[in-house]
Amino acid sequence: MMRWIRLVLLAVPPTLAAAALHAQSLTIDASTVGAPGSGARAELYMPAVAAGAVVELHGCNGISPHYRIWAARLAQWGYATLLVDSFRPRGYADGVCNHGRDVPADLRARDAFAAAAYLHSRPDLRNAPIGLVGFSHGGWAVLKAVLANARPAGEPPFAAAVAFYPGCEPPGSALETDTLILIGDADSWTPLARCQRWRDQVQTDGHTLQMTVYPGALHAFDTESGPHYFAGHYIGRDPAAAADAEARTRAFLAARLIPQR
């Protein structure tokens, strides 16, 4: 009998084994966290004195200079920032653009909570309020992580969340985190109408839910490159929208992560 069982296990197709691997949550601990730009599973950007902490989730292209620029900016604002690589450890070194469900949003939401648990495990951040910031595919994950049915048992909800041009699909439970959505009305990749429906359908349960819409702004309006085609979509920087979104993000996080005197 044992021989037969052994043969059955060996017969599992490699594609199924890979799928099981890709569906696992990331382990984020001292052995998997590195310095800025290190290419570690999670990169930690530390300010001189941390007023709070932020978990950052990249877009469908994986870790790029743009997300490191944002991590450094968040650290300059006083937040210990953990930039999590959700793709390369799962075998998607080139990202998942146009096949985003290969790494679904609920899985990345679990990555976000694992990252928050790591931050709280550090003596210097044990009691720090933690925010969540995500972009595009990462923004989709943010809008999962702020819902009650996504939070692992025993983990606290995030203190604040900002979703840049996120993918939006019907919410499955109530909001648990004050949330800000930033999106352009000319975004053809993650259309505004879907996020408006998400906003109108979600039960806020007393939490703040804000949406800022930028007229004429494309997907990735805060990136460094001007309008161009990428993965079949027209995307690119809108200077006015980028400046306003940066200011709104800073104010939204500060109001919830920095102790008010």
Q: What is the mean pLDDT of residues 237-241?
A: 98
Is the confidence at residue 101, as pLDDT, over 60?
A: yes
pLDDT tens digits along 20-59:
555 688 999 999 999 999 999 999 999 999 999 999 999 9
pLDDT, residue 261, reads 56
Spell out the residues 6+ positions from residue 258 whose beta carbon is closer than 8 angstroms to its own: 51, 52, 78
214 phi and psi, to 5 degrees? -105, 115
pLDDT tens digits along 115-129:
999 999 999 999 999
pLDDT, residue 55, reads 99
pLDDT, residue 259, reads 77
Contact 227, 186 (CB under 8 A): no
Which amino acid is present at 228? H
Spell out the residues 6+ positions from residue 123 whose beta carbon is closer than 8 angstroms to its own: none
Is the confidence at residue 3, as pLDDT, over 50?
A: no
pTM to 2 decimals? 0.92
CA atoms lying within 13 Å on the CB side of residue 210: 14
- The pair of structure tokens assigned to 196 is 């408006």
User: Any idea of the CA torsion for 37, 43, 45, 50, to the nearest 10 degrees?
Assistant: -170
pLDDT, residue 22, reads 57
pLDDT, residue 24, reads 80
From first CA to last CA, the distance across the chain in angstroms is 69
Cα–Cα distances in angstroms (integers) from residue 48 to residues 76, 77, 78, 86, in the given order? 9, 10, 8, 27
pLDDT, residue 71, reads 98
| Spatial separation of the C-alpha atoms in residues 84 and 114, rounded to whole Å | 10
Environment class of residue 156 by beta-carbon count within 10 Å: exposed (0-12), middle (13-18) or buried (19+)?
A: middle
| Spatial separation of the C-alpha atoms in residues 171 and 17, rounded to whole Å | 30
| Residue 228: band (very low, low, confident or very high) from pLDDT cuts 50, 70, 90 | very high
Is the confidence at residue 104, as pLDDT, over 80?
A: yes
Q: What is the mean pLDDT of residues 207-216?
A: 98
For the chain, the helix, strand and coil percentages under 3-state DSSP, each to the nearest 5: 35, 20, 45
Q: What is the mean pLDDT of residues 4-33?
A: 60
pLDDT, residue 25, reads 82
Is the confidence at residue 7, as pLDDT, over 70?
A: no
Size of the chain in residues: 261
Neighbours of 92 (CB within 10 A): 17
Question: pLDDT exceeding 90 applies to what percent of the chain?
Answer: 89
| Residue 66: band (very low, low, confident or very high) from pLDDT cuts 50, 70, 90 | very high
pLDDT higher for 201 or 260? 201
